[in-house]
Amino acid sequence: MRLYLKIVFIVALSFIIISCSNSIRLLPAKFRAEKDVAFKTALNKVTIYEINVEALNFSDLENYPVIKETSYRYKIQKWRKYNGLEKKEQIRILNMVKENNEYGDYNHIITLVELLQTNKDVYFSSLYSEETKDASGNPTIFYDTMYFLDAVGEKLYELHHIYDY
């Protein structure tokens, strides 16, 4: 009887873990990603992946990221060229990235800031919550996780907000 209860418990626990996992597929399978660097700033958990990009076509990214949305509380923003975003949103995102260096000196953040300011081959994606209003009453969204794909340098930057409510 004890063995039976242990088996039932393990199966139930496995089911809960699998059903609650928030699996996300950022890139098509042909883009192999390997974790290169991971660190925390005062605002974000930052992970940088090296990716193998043979020939990047935007059409490869059109349907990505893919997420199991039924178990996730955030909406997903598909990959787009960063310089194709509205200028106001580009500035807002750039300022959020820059804020990470206010509490430390992170060379990888400096590199990302430089990429966003100069590189035309950077793609942006995110997980975000509903639109809210900022202090001035203007509509804005809270980015839980921001992704930046550097197509030239073959890097994927993930900035996950530490204060995940």
pLDDT in tens, 73-106: 677 888 899 999 999 899 999 999 999 888 777 8
Give the Cα separation of 91 and 98 in Å (integer). 10
Q: What radius of gyration, in Å, describes the C-alpha atoms of the chain?
A: 18
Q: How confident is the model at residue 8 (pLDDT cuts 50, 70, 90)?
A: very low
**Global confidence as pTM:** 0.76
- DSSP H or E run through 3: helix 2-20
Q: What is the 3-state secondary structure (H, E, C) of 50-71?
A: EEECCCCCHHHHCCCCEECHHH
Looking at residue 164, its pLDDT comes to 54
Round the average pLDDT of the chain to a whole number and report it: 78
Q: Helix or strand or coil: residue 143?
A: strand
CA pair distance 96, 106, nearest whole angstrom: 14
Q: What is the pLDDT of residues 126-150, one digit of tens each?
A: 888 767 777 888 777 788 899 999 9
Place of tokens 């509380």: 73
User: With contact defined as beta carbons under 8 Å apart, do 31 and 65 qualify?
Assistant: no
Q: Strand, helix or coil at 115? A: helix
Measure the CA–CA gap between 134 and 159, rounded to whole angstroms.
Answer: 21
